[in-house]
Chain A
Amino acid sequence: MTERDAIAKPWGARTPFRPGEPWPDRVDIHLAGGVDPDDVQRWVRTASMLHSNGDAMDIAVVDGRIVGVRGRVEDRVNHGRLGPKDLYGWQANGSQDRLTRPLVRVDGGLVETDWDTAMDRVVTRSTQLLDERGPSSIGFYTTGQLMAEEYYTLAAIGHGAIGTNHMDGNTRLCTATAAAALKETFACDGQPGSYTDVDHADVIALFGHNMAETQTVLWMRILDRLAGPQPPRIVCVDPRDTPVAKAARDSGGVHLAPLPGTNVALMNALLHEIIANEWVDPDYLDAHTVGYAELRAQVEGCTPEWAGGICRLDPAEIRAAARVLGEAERLLSTVLQGFYQSHQASAAAVQVNNLNLVRGMLGRPGCGILQMNGQPTAQNTRECGADGDMSGFRNWANDAHVADLARHWNIDPMQIPHMAPPTHAMQMIRYCEEGSIGMLWVSGTNPAVSLPDLSRIRSIFSQDRLFLVVQDIFLSETAQLADVVLPAATWGEKTGCFTNVDRTVHLSDKAVEPPGQARPDLDIFLDYARRMDFRDRDGQPFPAWHDAESAFAAWAASTEGRPCDYTGLSHERLRAAPSGIQWPCNAEHPDGTERLYVDGRFWSAPDHCESYGRDMVTGAPLSPTEYRALNPDAKAVLKAAEYLPPHEPPGPEHPFVLITGRTIYHFHTRTKTGRAPELQAAAPRVWVECSPADAGRLGLTDGDLAEVATPRGTLHAHVRITGIRDGVLFVPFHYGYWDTPGGSAPDGGPGRAANELTATDWDPVSKQPLFKTAAASITPVEGGQR
């Protein structure tokens, strides 16, 4: 066991291994100063809450307080390792400024109150809206950080009891395109690959995925492969010169830094090369896919020269990358926000699926696809239906699926709205803006910092006619604008399960009591349901469950026969297992399932599939009939897409392309990481990255204060000169106003939230907002403090 300085050395010491060998163990631990491992009274099982990797860990408890964490050596995900946010982030739980009592708005200000008063306001407003304007006047906006039991309950309340179509998670900002890409290609969500593919791959391609910062522990696994015998080659697509880019160069792979917004052009050129050089697997294509002829026709003219002009890349680099991908024997591809939050998000992410499919690289060790998530429980938001999807990967356009869910809930199918696809987050915000949503209930997220074009968002949330309920653990920027604030318990203070990117389900047990009157989100939702007196068909209280264990049992039962089959899991089973278990887990696969689609059999049969797919440009859903004609035999669908120019190209006034993103020491809007001393000290204030050539031209030096502007707003940030490509600026999105005098907005002066600058535009297929394609300018601030 090692205490290590995870700020200075985020990935720790190497434990090299060779292909096919198990990843060696390394146990990371961090305890509060002065606490010795022998002092710890209880170790309580959980997993990471501050990223999507799902690192298993134990919480150390002394006298009813959390005093540290230790990686779980028995776990398949991390073999004992923890990242910087795992090691330090828990301290936020104990912050002095946790919300401990409900708040209600009185005479313009928020005042403390009791639970009855606060819930009474929520219930009164809900009832009034339901009576006067019906279910479509109520919306729910949740997160990727609650637990499966809580999402399933929220989905049952929203879709079942109330019958509103307006429910989404902030996973819309991070993982919606991952889900959409899987639905387009495999007609169903569900991650095909496994983290263990890292152990076997000979080429690992990361598309818009700075894994070194976003999933530090998975990156340690790759670093250990790179340090061992027969290391893999890395291909990296990223306009920034990240640690992944460096690894690509050092491993004999390729780093491509395309102009943001041109991913589809690049992917089409890579596919063009692979097809032209006959690096395809005709047998696999023939047996397991449809759509190859269309794909081949689409990419036929997409030569590296053509793409090079659009992406501003040397065609030779594109050829070199295609060769590495084309000659791989075991190819693992991963995708994240560089694709998901950029122009033509789904179309680009789908081309990565196509890459693995045309090469026949799926379902074998080392041959996998990871369409990554950003948040720890994003997978559950999707599975359980709290992002608007129907619970259990059911298909909104399939009446039999709606009826099946209604049977599980014991309600009338007509009560579940399914006349149109579920309302996505940005559309819900639009309904709030024009007034047709009268109550928005936000749980565990901070849209007043995380959504694009913040001045618009603030003005929407500040409307008197919108009743805003915020359920959180801190008085976030969004909570400050609320009418009712409900204090929630968090990780370590409640019991529940969550699932990581590679389908590993972990149990997270309660270690300590929540502060003051804060309550688990599950209890808050169920309390609301009881006060609203929701009933099922037999007049029994709905939802029928009453605690985390019974909620999980109901959820697991509802997944029977669905791809995300949890019927073999229960709290008891998970507690008895050495550590996490991968779904599907049922009687047939009692120990879970490492890889999906091993035999090339997909969940895409028309009666079974979750989605019939959408048009890659217009986003229009395919009809059941169209889908049946396209894919009668349950194969994977190769979807071609044409390149379209980005919507806000740089011009004379705004000559740069602005991209925003996650960085290693922070999570989201820093509500937790900004309250962990080591993490806060490591990156206390916002910055802007630009290239040496651009900086030189503009007279900027490292550390200067600069103003970054787009047609929507400005912010001030300190300059970091980095290896980012020319013509591109990067601003981290973590910084808001809760720890500034402004509180919920800039205090008169210039802002510091990246989303002051971003545009309201989203991918028509996944509805994910595009945070990475705004035109921007940068200018020095005279006399700015360094």
Chain B
Amino acid sequence: MSKLPLVLRELHRSETSLARDLLAVADRHQVDHEIFHVGRDIAAWSQTHVRLLSEIGHDHGLELDPAPRWTVPALSSLTRRLSTATVHRPESGLLLLADLRRVHRKAAGVSLDWELLAQSAQAMRQGELLALAQSCHPRTVRQMKWANAHLKASSPQIIAS
């Protein structure tokens, strides 16, 4: 039996988790406005991917939630308080570096999952799946590069100060 459903299920899980993470990071760093706004903008990419995966999952006998709960409420009110409490303190910087590092790692995982899907879709002549991977994967890479770029730009000040 094909393991494609397994790959799809894992991708759905990892994209959902990436979207949640991006939203949580945005929330936690509201005082770093670009992280907040762009984090939310690109979380929307993962949210779209989750919906598309759920749609295509049907054809493979899968029930994947098209719109899972995106935030973990308890965490988010806590982090929000943290975010405003550290507005005048450089310590929030270290937290930001850790968060960006996690987003980067997670996006790298999603990126590999898309690779996997693309490879297997190609092997199994699944045109639609291949097209999906080809249209979604570049955005995952852009999410990864976003985290990388911010890490690069903000680390000198955070470490030096």
State whether the Cβ of B58 lies closer than 8 Å to any Cβ in chain A: no
Given A419-B156, A436-B161: A762 and B149 within 8 A (CB)?
Answer: no
- A785 CB within 8 Å of chain B: no
Mark each residue of chain B from 37 to 53: 1 if its CB lies under 8 Å from any CB of chain A, else 0: 11011101000000000
**One of A27-35, A141-149, A500-508, A614-622 contacting the partner:** A614-622
A619 touches B32 (CB 8 A): no
Q: Within the complex, which residue of B33, B93, B146, B149 is in contact with A434, where a contact is CB–CB below 8 Å?
A: B93
Q: Are A618 and B142 in contact (CB under 8 A)?
A: yes
Does A421 have its Cβ within 8 Å of any Cβ on chain B? yes
Interface centre among B37, B40, B143 (most CB of A within 10 A): B37
Contact with B along A423-439 (1 / 0, CB 8 A): 10011001101111000
Q: Are B161 and A136 in contact (CB under 8 A)?
A: yes
Complex Cα gap A136–B161 (Å): 7
The listed residue (A436, A617, A760) touching B41 by CB distance below 8 A is A617
Contacting B32 at CB < 8 Å: which of A420, A430, A618? A430
A434 and B87 in contact (CB under 8 A), knowing A421-B153, A617-B41, A764-B38? yes
Q: With A and B bound together, what is the CA distance between A286 and B159 in angstroms?
A: 47
Report if A37 contacts B (CB, 8 A).
no
Contact among B148, B150, B157 with A431 in the assembled complex (CB-CB below 8 Å): B157
What residues on A are CB-neighbors of B33 within 8 Å? 426, 430, 760-762
| B60 contacts partner chain A, Cβ-Cβ < 8 Å | no
| Cβ-based interface call for B88 (8 A) | yes
Given contacts A133-B161, A136-B161, A436-B90, contact A618 B42 (CB under 8 A): yes
A423 (CB) vs chain B CBs: closest residue: B157
| Any A CB within 8 A of the CB of B132 | no
Residue of A137, A417, A761 touching B37 (CB-CB under 8 A): A761
Asked if A620 meets B148 with Cβ closer than 8 Å, knowing A136-B160, A137-B161, the reply is yes
Contact with A along B13-53 (1 / 0, CB 8 A): 00000000000000000011110011011101000000000
A647: Cβ under 8 A from any B Cβ: yes
Residues of B within 8 A of A133 (CB): 160-161
**Which residues of A604-657 are within 8 A (CB) of B?**
615, 617-621, 644, 647
Task: Take A430-B31, A615-B145 as given contacts and tell me if A435 and B89 are in contact as well, using a CB distance cutoff of 8 Å.
Answer: yes
Least CB distance, B9 to chain A, in whole angstroms: 28
Query: Contacts of A621 on B, CB cut-off 8 Å?
Result: 149
Given contacts A434-B90, A436-B90, A764-B34, contact A618 B143 (CB under 8 A): yes
Closest partner residue, chain A, to B93 (CB atom):
A434
How many of chain B's residues touch chain A, expressed as a range? 20 to 34
Q: Tell me if A677 is interfacial: C-beta within 8 Å of chain B.
A: no
Min distance, Cβ A512 to any Cβ of chain B, angstroms: 43
How many whole Å from A29's CB to the nearest CB in chain B?
48
Q: From residue B96, how far is it (CB to closest CB) to chain A in Å?
A: 10
How far is B142's CA from A179's CA once the two chains are assembled, in angstroms?
Answer: 23
A136 touches B41 (CB 8 A): no
Known contacts being A436-B161, A617-B42, is A136 close to B156, with CB within 8 Å? yes
Residues of B within 8 A of A165 (CB): 156
For residue B37, which residues in chain A have a CB less than 8 angstroms away from its CB?
A: 647, 761, 764
Q: Which of A136, A619, A620 contacts B157 (CB 8 A)?
A: A136
B107 CB → nearest A CB, Å: 11
Closest B residue to A417 using CB positions: B156
Q: Are A620 and B161 in contact (CB under 8 A)?
A: no
Q: List chain A residues, Cβ under 8 A from B148.
A: 620
Among residues 354 to 410 in chain A, which have CB atoms less than 8 Å away from a CB atom of chain B?
Answer: none
Interface residues of A in 140-165 (CB under 8 A from B): 165
Q: Which of A750-767 contact B (CB under 8 A)?
A: 760-762, 764
Q: Is the CB of B156 within 8 A of A619?
A: no
**Measured between alpha carbons, how far is A165 from B152 in the docked complex, in Å?**
13
Q: Using Cβ atoms and an 8 Å threshold, which residues of chain A touch B41? A: 617-618, 644
Binary contact readout A756-786 vs B (1 if CB under 8 angstroms, 0 otherwise): 0000111010000000000000000000000
Q: Give bound CA distance, A169 to B126, whole Å.
A: 53
Asked whether, in the complex, the Cβ of B88 is within 8 Å of the Cβ of A435, the reply is yes
Indicate if the CB atoms of B88 and A434 lie closer than 8 Å: yes
B92 within 8 A of A: yes
CA gap between A235 and B144 in the complex, in Å: 40
B50 shortest CB reach to chain A, Å = 18
Q: Beyond A426-B33, A615-B142, A615-B146, is A435–B38 a contact (Cβ under 8 Å)?
A: no
Closest beta carbon of chain B to A649's beta carbon, Å:
13
Beta-carbon contact of A134 and B38 below 8 Å: no
Chain A positions 659 through 681: 1 when the CB is less than 8 Å from some CB of chain B, otherwise 0: 00000000000000000000000
Interchain CA distance A434-B31 in the complex, whole Å: 10
- Whether A619 and B145, one on each chain, are in contact in the complex, defined by CB atoms closer than 8 angstroms, is no
Supposing A136-B157, A426-B33, A644-B41 touch, asked if A620 and B90 sit within 8 A by C-beta, the answer is: no
In whole Å, how far is A343's beta carbon from the nearest beta carbon of chain B? 10
Residues of B within 8 Å of A421, CB to CB, are 153
Smallest CB separation, B72 vs chain A (Å): 23
**Closest chain B CB from A701 CB (angstroms):** 38
A463–B88 alpha-carbon span in the complex (Å): 10
Complex Cα distance, B87 from A430, in Å, reads: 9
Residues B122-161 near A (CB distance < 8 A): 142-143, 145-146, 148-150, 152-153, 155-158, 160-161
Q: Which of B92, B142, B156 contacts A420 (CB 8 A)?
A: B156
Task: Assess A620 versus B160: contact at CB under 8 Å? Given A421-B153, A433-B87, A760-B33.
Answer: no
A618 lies within 8 A of B157 (CB)? no
Nearest B residue to A137 by beta-carbon distance?
B161
- Choose one: B34, B89, B142, B153; the contact of A762 (CB below 8 Å): B34
Q: How far is the CA of A641 from the CA of B31 in the complex (A)?
A: 27
**B residues less than 8 Å from A618 (CB atoms):** 38, 41-42, 142-143, 145-146, 149
List, in ascending order, chain A residues with CB within 8 A of B160's CB.
133-134, 136, 436
Docked pose: A137 CA to B37 CA in angstroms: 26
Chain A residues near B88 (CB, 8 Å)? 433-435, 463
Assembly CA distance A210 to B93 (angstroms): 41
Tell me, rounded to whole Å, the shortest Cβ–Cβ distance linking B138 to chain A. 10
Complex Cα distance A433/B42, Å? Answer: 26
Kindly provide the distance from the CB of A293 to the nearest chain B CB, expressed in whole angstroms: 14
How far is A618 from B87 in the complex, measured between Cα atoms in Å?
Answer: 24
Q: Which residue of B lies closest to A452 (CB)?
A: B33
Alpha-carbon distance A109/B49, docked complex (angstroms): 58
Closest Cβ of chain A to B20, distance in Å, is 19
Given contacts A136-B157, A647-B37, contact A434 B42 (CB under 8 A): no
* B161 pairs with A619, CB closer than 8 A: no
0/1 string, A248-277, CB within 8 A of B gives 1 = 000000000000000000000000000000
CA separation between A617 and B139, bound complex, in Å? 10
Residues of chain A with a CB closer than 8 A to B158's CB: 436
Give complex CA distance A617, B92 in Å.
Answer: 25
Shortest CB distance A424–B (Å): 9
Chain A min CB distance to B19 (Å): 15
| Sampled A-B contacts (6; CB under 8 Å) | A420-B156, A423-B157, A431-B161, A434-B89, A618-B149, A620-B149
- A residues sitting closer than 8 Å to B (CB atoms) are 133-134, 136-137, 165, 417, 419-421, 423, 426-427, 430-431, 433-436, 463, 615, 617-621, 644, 647, 760-762, 764
Considering the complex of A and B, which 4 residue pairs feature the smallest CB-CB distances, nearest first? A436-B161, A620-B149, A618-B146, A620-B145
